[in-house]
Amino acid sequence: MAKITPDNKSVVVRFAGDSGDGVQLLGSQFAESTALAGSDFATFPDFPAEIRAPVGTTFGVSAFQINLGARRISTAGDQPDVLVALNPAALKVNLPALPKGALIILNTDAFNARNFSKANIETDPRETGELKDYQVVEIAISTQTLEAVKPVGLSKSDAEQCKNFWALGAVLWMFGRDRGPIKDWATKKFAKKAPEILAGNLAALDAGHAFAETAELSAEIPQFEIGPAPMEAGEYRSITGAEALSLGLAAAGELADREVIFCGYPITPASSILHHLSRMGDLGVATFQAEDEIAACCAAIGASYGGKIGVTSSSGPGIALKTEAIGLATAVELPLVIINSQRGGPSTGLPTKTEQSDLYQAVYGRNADTPLPVIAAAGPGDCFDAAIEATRIALRHMTPVFLLTDGYIANAAGPWELPDMDDFEPILHGTPPTPKGDPTELKRAIWNRDPSSLGRPWIAPGMEGLAHRIGGLEKDIATGDISYDADNHQAMSELRANKVEAVAEFIPDQIVEQGPTKGPLAVVGWGSTHGAIHRAVFVAREQGYDVAQIHLRYLNPLPKNLKRLLAGYDKIILPEMNMGQCATLLRDKLGLDVISLTKVSGQPFKISELEDTIKEHAPATLKKAAE
Amino acid sequence: MNAPLTAKDFATDQEVRWCPGCGDYAILKCVQKTLADVGAVPDNTVFVSGIGCSSRFPYYMNTYGFHTIHGRAPAFATGLKLANPELDVWLVTGDGDGLSIGGNHLLHVLRRNLNLQIMLFNNEIYGLTKGQYSPTSRAGTRSPSTPAGSIDAPLNPCSFALGANARFIARGIDTDARNLSPVLKAAREFKGAAFVEIFQNCIVYNKDIFEDFVAKKTAKETQIHVEHGKPLLFADGTNGLKLNPQTLALEVVVVGDGGVPEAEVLVHDETNRSIAQMLINLPTEGYPMPLGVIYRDPSDPAFDDAFWAAQTTKGKRTAKVADALRKASVWKKA
């Protein structure tokens, strides 16, 4: 069969199986091979909330989707062109998402009465005709795997565990990818711990590859040709949001020349940041797993008080618990970085599903008037810069800062151009005063705020001659002594508000990412919707729609030019994965009404959904131009 | 060399705002004097507190100080000690702050054995919120929130501490600086979490609740000041505590003429958990109140030391992020 070169130069592949089938490893290694071939890609792991759901059930299905292209790729793709289903439940769950004509590769060994019953399937879907619109390739993957690894002498269950490598081998052949780097990786991972498992996996990998290549099936298994994507010259690696964020925090510590102390408590989907950072001791990062979310936040503030960069992280429910402590950090003017890996809510909600759920919580969610800066990361690689920026703001203004990310960004991966660390400015903070003899003069020096940032000097216990007391009671604006004075409270409240507003003086003007700087229509987004919006606007523009794309990093305060910029468009569409929180924010802060496009299905926006909305709201003149 | 500091040097210019006659004044004085006596360095000393009357303490100490939020002082202190294990950190809490809203954090700071001193001012009542019953209030305590008397069983702070695997447990009385000061010194010297329960008289909402053993006139009979390696004697050595091997409980015995020989009195071993357990839980009726260092087990490392020892590079930055970024498969685009 001739190699298929898709018209849009991209293919979406979805691997699905039981949560114990090694689907995530299969997907991530395929992504690695894509990266090394120079194609662009974006991945989206989709795993169940249950750790080991009963084998064969629909709620135990784990999936990994990758969109790979010889063009720039901005999302993991709307619909899979290829589905690899390792059991009937995986087929059942994913079939509705497939477009007609999609290629389905099935592991026929798993298609038996036992698995049908576990997945609540009455009749074998291969016999009901429900697969007639698809191109189905049936392979006895388990049997083939057992056969291939027999010489290694593994137990039957260990041998069958190698089937993900077998499938990987077959898929690598389909895409004409090299097996070498994957073998190297596997050797590094398994050679010492489990040499037999390594041997089994390598045998399975080769067997899958050979099977696809040599079998008469080669007529049946299509081959895809996805070449390198046009990308800027530079060094690249694959990175997930959680990894990039962790490295970004380490980089912030390096730029500030301070150690980072990260205090967390396990919660999905934020825990991966704790895991990554706990291996970065040599980068000046220490991690502390606290007894609860509150303690994690308090310990991070304690670390900041002690002169280290205190960072805490959680997801919505955990952030709610930290709220009182965050207010204290504002009151005592200590730096703190709070990372919220957002997920669906309210309450426990949808722990593994993504949602931009907590913008209100970040901007407004504290007792009293307690403003604080809020920024959001737009994608996996961007988490690196966002972490540096959040730390920079925290130290410059001596304030807690919210960094919003979400489950999608945390787990998704894509190629990332490695930054040059020399391009980053050092992170600065207010330097401690020299001790004054007179106690009142000393107090004034301790609370002497920088006139432009309103940040105070960062003074840690142990510094000679600067002993002073801080606390959550309202303090005198000049001396820091407890003060219940009415005018002083007014002045302190204004100071806290002005301090956050002052951040706007240091951040860049809002730019237009694509399209005109004024015109009939703009799509404004924030956070992880970036990829889908970028692609949808790109496609619409190719079709002749003169639409602009604007993506917000700074949510509080907003960039100073934003109001004027947005006023230059007749209509603004704001897609977000919540019930319209950023739309409310823009109405509140800018007095601006937008067309709010909301989605809370636990899944990211599809590009097609956004394209449809752009076309629906495009003014008649634009539509005409497009025709 | 500068002249040694005095108690006065540890006082701030802030007006102390506890009720006149409050036991906190005596504790404050005792702490200030103790720090002066041991030559503590104010710039290296930090008082961390939660919320409540006791938690105003840091404002009055001319050291570093952090008045935090209700119940969470142990967590702030943990972050602070991790950031700088060299600091001498004192935690000030109360029965409501430490055992009610902050029970979880107190449990974990003790279990982890963070190197700090915890002074829990126990007055068996909520003072700052005007007199509601607390987790240490005796059953039947009438308060604004329990007009018919409280019904739940109180918690024994030292028993809680022992259960949480605290390695240093001591007791003292607010107005008895002569005995409290050495306890505080011992707590400060201890490498680990040193828990000190201080019986504190809330003269407004729970006046003289500890009078049965605090009263100076009868103190000899109602208090037993325990000392490692010495027999558990009180009332000028005329009474003692003896272990009854049948019941595995301590009994009050008369010592000497008409009683048992002193050799039969139990010798205090502060490293013995079982003795600590019995002393902490002595019945109140007919028994003296054990005071002083009840339990001390220095065999475990302090958490802050262990934390940094466990870090591969001991907390030092030895690698560059630019290199760490490249610890993956990296490809070049021309």
Residue B31 is part of a domain; what is its CATH number? 3.40.50.970
For residues A175 and A38, what is the distance between their CA atoms, to the nearest angstrom? 13
Q: Flag whether B226 is in a domain.
A: no
HSE toward the beta carbon, residue B196, CA cutoff 13 A: 29
Find the closest chain B residue to A283 by CA distance: B317
Among B14, B68, B315, beta carbon nearest to A328 = B68
Q: Flag whether A400 is in a domain.
A: yes
Q: Give the pLDDT score at A619.
A: 77
Residue span of the structural domain in which A193 resides = 3-224
- Are residue A297 and residue A337 in the same domain, yes or no? yes
| Interchain proximity A462–B84, CB inside 8 Å | yes
The one-letter amino acid code at B254 reads V
Sign of the CA dihedral with A266 first, then A270, A272, and A277 last: negative
Sign of the CA dihedral with B74 first, then B80, B82, and B85 last: negative
User: If contacts are CB pairs under 8 Å, which of residues 388-407 in chain A contact chain B?
Assistant: none
Q: What CATH number did the domain enclosing A605 receive?
A: 3.40.50.920
SS (H, E, C) B56-106: HHHHHECCEEEECCCCCHHHHHHHHHHHCCCCEEEEEEEHHHHHHHCHHHH
- Are residue A219 and residue A248 in the same domain, yes or no? no
For residues A204 and A139, what is the distance between their CA atoms, to the nearest angstrom? 14
> Looking at the complex, does the CB of residue A292 fall below 8 Å from at least one CB of chain B?
yes
Q: Flag whether A447 is in a domain.
A: yes
Name the H helices within A430-485.
439-446
Is there a contact between A115 and A88 (Cβ–Cβ < 8 Å)? yes
ipTM: 0.98
Is there a contact between B34 and B8 (Cβ–Cβ < 8 Å)? no
Q: Give the pLDDT score at B121.
A: 98
**Which chain A residues are Cβ-neighbours of B66 within 8 angstroms?**
302, 305, 332, 469-471
Q: Give the pLDDT score at A359.
A: 98
**Which chain A residues are Cβ-neighbours of B42 within 8 angstroms?**
467
Instruction: Dig out the tokens for A595 from the structure.
Output: 């067309």
- Are residue A464 and residue A367 in the same domain, yes or no? no
- A54 CA: distance to closest CA in chain B (Å): 34
A interface mutation test: which of B93, B113, B317 has the most A CBs within 10 A? B317
- Are residue A358 and residue A475 in the same domain, yes or no? no
Find the closest chain B residue to A184 by CA distance: B329
Q: Flag whether A434 is in a domain.
A: no
Name the H helices within A257-315.
271-277, 293-305
Is there a contact between A487 and A584 (Cβ–Cβ < 8 Å)? no
| Interchain proximity A232–B326, CB inside 8 Å | no
Q: Flag whether A230 is in a domain.
A: no
| Interchain proximity A238–B329, CB inside 8 Å | yes
- Are residue A262 and residue A194 in the same domain, yes or no? no
User: If contacts are CB pairs under 8 Å, which of residues 142-181 in chain A contact chain B?
Assistant: 181
| Interchain proximity B44–A472, CB inside 8 Å | no
> Looking at the complex, does the CB of residue A259 fall below 8 Å from at least one CB of chain B?
yes
| Interchain proximity B105–A291, CB inside 8 Å | yes
Name the H helices within B233-302.
273-280
**Which chain A residues are Cβ-neighbours of B65 within 8 angstroms?**
468-471
Q: Flag whether B291 is in a domain.
A: no
Q: Flag whether B125 is in a domain.
A: yes
For residues B119 and B184, what is the distance between their CA atoms, to the nearest angstrom? 9
Q: Give the pLDDT score at A216.
A: 57
> Would you give the end-to-end CA distance of chain B in angstroms?
67
Q: Give the pLDDT score at A396.
A: 98
Is there a contact between A105 and A135 (Cβ–Cβ < 8 Å)? no
Residues 6+ apart with CB under 8 A from A430: A398, A449, A450, A453, A455, A456, A457, A458
Convert A50-63 to b/e letters by CB count within 10 Å (16 or more is b): eeebeebbbebbbb
Residue A352 three-state SS: coil
pTM over 0.90: yes
Q: Flag whether A113 is in a domain.
A: yes
Q: Give the pLDDT score at A625.
A: 65
Q: What tens digit of pLDDT does each residue of B50-82 get?
A: 999 999 999 999 999 999 999 999 999 999 999
- Are residue A130 and residue A181 in the same domain, yes or no? yes
Q: Flag whether B250 is in a domain.
A: no
| Interchain proximity A305–B86, CB inside 8 Å | no
Number of domains in chain B: 1
Q: Give the pLDDT score at A626.
A: 62
Residue span of the structural domain in which B129 resides = 7-209+301-310
Among B69, B79, B326, beta carbon nearest to A324 = B69
For residues A578 and A598, what is the distance between their CA atoms, to the nearest angstrom? 6
Q: Flag whether A430 is in a domain.
A: no
Q: Flag whether B63 is in a domain.
A: yes
φ, ψ (nearest 5 deg) of residue A560: -65, -30
Is there a contact between A116 and A88 (Cβ–Cβ < 8 Å)? yes
Q: Give the pLDDT score at B314.
A: 82
Q: Flag whether B281 is in a domain.
A: no
- Are residue A459 and residue A571 in the same domain, yes or no? no
Residues 6+ apart with CB under 8 A from A60: A18, A19, A48, A50, A52, A53, A54, A89
Reference B292, options B206, B229, B219, B225; nearest CA is: B225
Mean pLDDT per segment of 10 residues, for chain B of length 334 residues? 87 94 97 98 98 96 98 98 98 98 98 98 96 97 96 97 98 98 98 98 96 96 98 97 96 95 97 98 96 97 95 89 94 88
Q: What CATH number did the domain enclosing A179 receive?
A: 3.40.920.10
> Looking at the complex, does the CB of residue A371 fall below 8 Å from at least one CB of chain B?
no
- Are residue A283 and residue A333 in the same domain, yes or no? yes
Using DSSP bridges, classify how beta strands A223-224 and A82-85 pair: parallel, antiparallel or unpaired: unpaired
Q: Give the pLDDT score at A217.
A: 58
Among B44, B48, B329, beta carbon nearest to A462 = B44
Q: Flag whether A429 is in a domain.
A: no
C-alpha to C-alpha distances, B184 to A205, A324, B168, nearest whole angstrom = 67, 32, 11
- Are residue A325 and residue A419 in the same domain, yes or no? yes
Low-confidence ranges of chain A (pLDDT < 50): none
Is there a contact between A460 and B81 (Cβ–Cβ < 8 Å)? no
Reference A351, options A313, A406, A296, A299; nearest CA is: A406
> Would you give the end-to-end CA distance of chain A in angstroms?
37
Q: Flag whether A317 is in a domain.
A: yes
Number of domains in chain A: 4
Q: What CATH number did the domain enclosing A393 receive?
A: 3.40.50.970
Q: Give the pLDDT score at A436.
A: 77
Reference A328, options B289, B149, B66; nearest CA is: B66
CA–chain centroid gap for B20, Å, is 24
Angle at A108 (CA atoms; ends A104, A112), nearest 5 degrees: 125
φ, ψ (nearest 5 deg) of residue A550: -130, 130
User: If contacts are CB pairs under 8 Å, which of residues 414-443 in chain A contact chain B?
Assistant: 418-421, 439
Q: Give the pLDDT score at A624.
A: 64
Q: Flag whether B140 is in a domain.
A: yes
> Looking at the complex, does the CB of residue A239 fall below 8 Å from at least one CB of chain B?
yes
Reference A475, options A362, A302, A334; nearest CA is: A334
- Are residue A279 and residue A408 in the same domain, yes or no? yes
